[in-house]
Amino acid sequence: MLTDRQLVDLVLGGDLHAFGTIVGITESLVAQIVFKLIPNEEDRRDVAQDIYVKVYQHLENFRFQAKLSTWIAQIAYNTCLNRLQKKQLPVYHPPEREAGESGEETPEDRWRATDETDRLLLQKELKELLQAEIGKLPPIYQTLIGLYHQEELTYHEIARITGLPEGTVKSYLFRARRQLKDTMLYIYKKEKL
């Protein structure tokens, strides 16, 4: 596998196949951002194209101060925000809360099934319910959850991408998880009644 520097050098040298490799490596990350922030499917395609056009046009400005994927994710995030502003759609940023918010217990920790089949069915149902509830969160929460839990980026990388302070990223993630936990527990208890 080629390094970021090698890929960039190849693209700057005119190798379009290398740019295709960059797109392939980063498309999941870009999709996470675009699908969480841009509500309209048609706009999503346009935004994704805009993102990679910008990446290609500005690749010579990449200074290797972060990973290439982080730099591209930052372009994706800013392009999405610009599109939302252009269409005058709100970007939800929840208010700050007090410090000291930390780790969470997942709803799955509370559910223990003895039979393997029941356990697997419960996991599938829980995953589907969790995905549905994530989709109801504010776009910034959805984006952060996707970047952290699905793309496995660090707080530092997410902060670079979003331009949010690292502490705010942690706080928003904590609140998103807490909101999901509360919702899941409410739904679970309601179904048990």
Q: Which amino acid is at 74?
A: Q
Residue listed under structure tokens 């935004």? 47
Asked if residues 159 and 173 have their Cβ atoms less than 8 Å apart, the reply is no
User: Is residue 173 within 8 Å of 92, Cβ to Cβ?
Assistant: no
Q: What's the Cα-to-Cα distance from 130 to each of 45, 101, 112, rounded to whole Å?
A: 26, 21, 17
Cα 55 from Cα 76, distance rounded (Å): 9
Mean pLDDT along residues 64-75: 92
Candidates 122, 128, 124, 164; CA nearest to 147 is 164
Tokens of 17: 């196949």
What would the pLDDT profile of 3-48 be if each residue is shown by its tens digit?
Answer: 999 999 999 999 999 999 999 999 999 999 998 888 888 888 899 9
Q: Report helix, strand or coil for 137.
A: coil
Q: Which domains does the chain have, with CATH numbers?
A: 4-86 (1.10.1740.10), 107-192 (1.10.10.10)
pLDDT in tens, 147-184: 998 888 999 999 999 999 999 999 999 999 999 888 87
Q: How far apart are CA 29 and CA 150, in angstroms?
A: 9
Distance CA 128, CA 120 (A): 12
